[in-house]
Amino acid sequence: MIKLSDLLKMLLAILIGLCGSVLFIFLQLPLPWLLGAIFTTSIAMRFENLPIQSPKLFSAPARILIGLIIGSAFTPQILESLHLYLFSILLIIPYSILVTFAGMYYYVKVLRFDRKTAFLSSTPGGVVEMVILGEEQKADTSKITLVQSSRLLFVVLSLPFIIQYVFHLDISGNQLITKALKDTNLLEFFYLIIIGIIGAFGARKLRISAAFLIGPMILSLIVYSSGLIHTLIPDELIKCVQVIFGTIIGFTFRGVKLRMILKILMGTFGHFMILAFISGIFIAIAYYFFGFPIVSTLLAFSPGGQTEMNLIALIVGANVPYITIHHIMRLFIVMNLAPILAKRL
């Protein structure tokens, strides 16, 4: 049972994140609800006496909502065209291999990491999953956490600016596969939430990776593609989800000395440039040879977290099923091969 004091600390942290979102809206910066929360929470981490706590309690419900929204994008028309993505999806295999081993070489040779730490730092999986593997393999989990978090931070910070200022797409909000709360069928939405909870705990019972995202997504996909549910997720909830995730990401750097953060950030930026180069090659192949939309391929081949990339995709109105399938494929490859390869290093 969570203490009231802890809950209040989490709510205060979210309030700080919300202040950043409001600031970014005022400054007309891209992805304000997410990036603004990251910005102010990261600053708050420098003040150790602040009575705040990472709102991880809200992470699971937020992931369930994202899963439900992603599933709602899989309309019958979209499912009929999935076979068109086959060659692009297959590109994820060489992409994941190149990204991982190029990064591993960089961290071993440049930053002098041991091989296991370098491998798990460069593998494009989830932060939590890689840290858990690091603990099992006796790798340096503090370095893995900082590197993986920094990679996610660079991707999440750079993509909105690229999308808004290079491709001139509005990234201030989303009205494409969500609608205002007042226009939502509340009874259908209630059923959808129940479905999401069942999917989340069912997937966790089956030990599926990213269970609270994948489980609700699969059941949402089924009910939407079959026409059982038609209502869309309230837009207001998407904004809340962005603030929550932004606040949680900002907490990643809590308790870490500024000197260490700067050192890892500078080192990770070199890796990020390598990632950008490799991603650029695969984006170009998918765009020029297969004709997929440039923003969708950009998000599909970006080495960010699945939740964050899908969130950006939802906001800009990109091809969510196309992007989701690519990230699921990447995570499937990573989560199945990483434990095996890590043991051999």
Q: Does the pLDDT of residue 330 top 80, yes or no?
A: yes
What is the pLDDT at residue 15?
A: 95
For residues 155 and 281, the answer to whether their CB atoms sit within 8 Å is: no
Provide mean pLDDT across the span 264-286: 89
In a domain, 270, yes or no: yes
What is the amino acid identity at position 109?
K
In a domain, 116, yes or no: yes
In a domain, 85, yes or no: yes
Beta-carbon contacts of 20 under 8 Å, excluding residues fewer than 6 positions away, are 35, 36, 37, 38, 39, 40, 41, 246
What is the pLDDT at residue 238?
A: 82
What is the pLDDT at residue 128?
A: 59
In a domain, 280, yes or no: yes
- State pTM to two decimals: 0.67
Provide mean pLDDT across the span 242-256: 81
In a domain, 249, yes or no: yes
- Residue spans of alpha helices (H) in the chain: 4-26, 32-44, 59-72, 76-80, 86-90, 92-109, 115-122, 127-136, 141-161, 186-205, 211-225, 235-250, 258-290, 294-300, 306-316, 320-344
What is the pLDDT at residue 91?
A: 92
Angle, helices 320-344/127-136, rounded to nearest 10 degrees:
10
Provide mean pLDDT across the span 332-336: 72
Domain count, the chain: 1
Provide mean pLDDT across the span 71-88: 75
Q: Does the CA dihedral 98-99-104-107 come out positive or negative?
A: positive
In a domain, 54, yes or no: no
Name the DSSP class of 179: E
Range(s) of the domain holding residue 71: 4-48+59-344
Pair of tokens at residue 305? 């977290």
What is the pLDDT at residue 274?
A: 92
Provide mean pLDDT across the span 262-280: 88
- pLDDT (tens digit per residue) in 115-157: 999 998 998 876 656 776 777 788 887 788 778 878 877 887 7
Whichever domain contains 338, its CATH number is 1.20.1530
What is the pLDDT at residue 172?
A: 54
- pLDDT (tens digit per residue) in 45-62: 888 888 899 898 898 898
Provide mean pLDDT across the span 285-299: 87
- pLDDT (tens digit per residue) in 167-193: 776 655 444 455 666 777 888 889 999
In a domain, 296, yes or no: yes
Q: What percent of the chain has pLDDT over 90?
A: 19
Provide mean pLDDT across the span 253-273: 80
What is the pLDDT at residue 175?
A: 45
pLDDT-derived band at 258, boundaries 50, 70, 90: confident
Q: Does the pLDDT of residue 87 top 90, yes or no?
A: no
Q: Residue 204 and residue 220: Cα distance in Å, rounded? A: 16
In a domain, 182, yes or no: yes
